[in-house]
Chains A and B, each alone.
Chain A
Amino acid sequence: MNQADVSKLISQLRIVVRPKNRNLKNPDGPEGRLLKLRKTVTALVKHERIELYYNRADEARGYAELLISNAIRHGDRHKPTMELADYWLLEKQLVHKLFKVLVPRYDNYNVSYTRMYKAPRDYPGMYYKKSVLELRGNPYPTLCADQTQNRNLLHNVLLDEARKEFRREKVADLANKLNVATEAPKKTVEESSDTIKPTAI
Chain B
Amino acid sequence: MLRTVIGDLARLRLSSSSSSNSCVLVTQVREKGHLSRPRLRNPHWFLRKERSQTDDYVTAENRNFVKEVVHETYGSPALIKGVQTYEQKLIRTPIEKPSVDAEPWTPKVRRCGVIARKIGQYPLWLKNGERVRTTLLQIVDNHVIKYTPPEEYQPSHRPSVHNLHKYGCLLVGAESTNPALLTKEYCGIFRDSGVMPKKNVARFIVSPQAALAPGTPLNVGHFRVGEFVDVRGKTVDHGFQGVVKRHGFKGMPASHGVTKTHRRAGNIGGGGEKGRVWPGTKMPGHMGNRWRISKGLRIWRINTKYNVMWVQGSAVPGSTNGLIYIYDTILPLRKPKEAPPFPTLYEDDAAALPEDIWYDQVHDFKDETITYKPE
User: In the complex, what's the smallest C-beta–C-beta distance from B61 to chain A, in angstroms?
Assistant: 7
Binds B, one of A52-60, A62-70, A132-140, A149-157: A149-157
Contact between A149 and B61, CB atoms less than 8 A apart: no
A117 within 8 A of B: no
Q: How many A-B residue pairs have CB under 8 A?
A: 31
Contact between A166 and B59, CB atoms less than 8 A apart: no
Closest residue to B62 on the A side, CB-wise?
A: A159
Task: Point out the residues of chain A lying under 8 angstroms from B66, CB to CB.
Answer: 159
B56 within 8 A of A: yes
Contact between B60 and A163, CB atoms less than 8 A apart: no
Contact between A166 and B65, CB atoms less than 8 A apart: yes
Contact between A148 and B58, CB atoms less than 8 A apart: yes
Contact between A150 and B57, CB atoms less than 8 A apart: yes
Contact between A163 and B61, CB atoms less than 8 A apart: yes
6 pairs of A and B residues whose beta carbons are closest in the complex: A147-B57, A159-B62, A163-B65, A148-B57, A156-B59, A155-B56
B350 within 8 A of A: no
Task: Point out the residues of chain B lying under 8 angstroms from A163, CB to CB.
Answer: 61-62, 65
Interface residues of B (CB under 8 A from A): 56-62, 65-66, 69
Residues of A145-189 contacting chain B, CB below 8 A: 147-151, 153, 155-156, 159-160, 162-163, 166
User: In the complex, what's the smallest C-beta–C-beta distance from B73 to chain A, in angstroms?
Assistant: 11
Q: How far is the CA of A149 from the CA of B59 in the complex (A)?
A: 6
Interface residues of A (CB under 8 A from B): 147-151, 153, 155-156, 159-160, 162-163, 166
Beyond A153-B56, A155-B56, 17 additional pairs, beta carbon < 8 A: A148-B57, A148-B60, A150-B57, A150-B59, A153-B57, A155-B62, A156-B57, A156-B58, A156-B59, A156-B62, A159-B58, A159-B59, A159-B65, A160-B62, A162-B65, A163-B65, A166-B65
User: In the complex, what's the smallest C-beta–C-beta distance from A97 to chain B, in angstroms?
Assistant: 34
Task: Point out the residues of chain A lying under 8 angstroms from B65, CB to CB.
Answer: 159, 162-163, 166
Task: Point out the residues of chain B lying under 8 angstroms from A166, CB to CB.
Answer: 65, 69
Task: Point out the residues of chain A lying under 8 angstroms from B69, CB to CB.
Answer: 166
User: In the complex, what's the smallest C-beta–C-beta distance from A50 to chain B, in angstroms?
Assistant: 24
Q: How far is the CA of A156 from the CA of B57 in the complex (A)?
A: 8
Task: Point out the residues of chain B lying under 8 angstroms from A156, CB to CB.
Answer: 57-59, 62
Task: Point out the residues of chain A lying under 8 angstroms from B59, CB to CB.
Answer: 148-151, 156, 159
Task: Point out the residues of chain B lying under 8 angstroms from A160, CB to CB.
Answer: 61-62
User: In the complex, what's the smallest C-beta–C-beta distance from B237 to chain A, in angstroms?
Assistant: 15
Q: How far is the CA of A159 from the CA of B63 in the complex (A)?
A: 9
User: In the complex, what's the smallest C-beta–C-beta distance from B185 to chain A, in angstroms?
Assistant: 21
Task: Point out the residues of chain A lying under 8 angstroms from B61, CB to CB.
Answer: 160, 163
User: In the complex, what's the smallest C-beta–C-beta distance from A64 to chain B, in angstroms?
Assistant: 26
Closest residue to A153 on the B side, CB-wise?
A: B57
Closest residue to A164 on the B side, CB-wise?
A: B65
Contacts A/B (CB < 8 Å), 7 sampled: A148-B57, A151-B59, A153-B56, A156-B58, A159-B62, A163-B61, A166-B69
Q: How far is the CA of A160 from the CA of B65 in the complex (A)?
A: 9
Q: How far is the CA of A159 from the CA of B60 in the complex (A)?
A: 11
Task: Point out the residues of chain B lying under 8 angstroms from A151, CB to CB.
Answer: 59
Task: Point out the residues of chain A lying under 8 angstroms from B58, CB to CB.
Answer: 148, 155-156, 159
Task: Point out the residues of chain B lying under 8 angstroms from A162, CB to CB.
Answer: 65
Task: Point out the residues of chain B lying under 8 angstroms from A147, CB to CB.
Answer: 57
Task: Point out the residues of chain B lying under 8 angstroms from A159, CB to CB.
Answer: 58-59, 62, 65-66
Q: How far is the CA of A160 from the CA of B58 in the complex (A)?
A: 10
Closest residue to A145 on the B side, CB-wise?
A: B57
Q: How far is the CA of A156 from the CA of B56 in the complex (A)?
A: 9
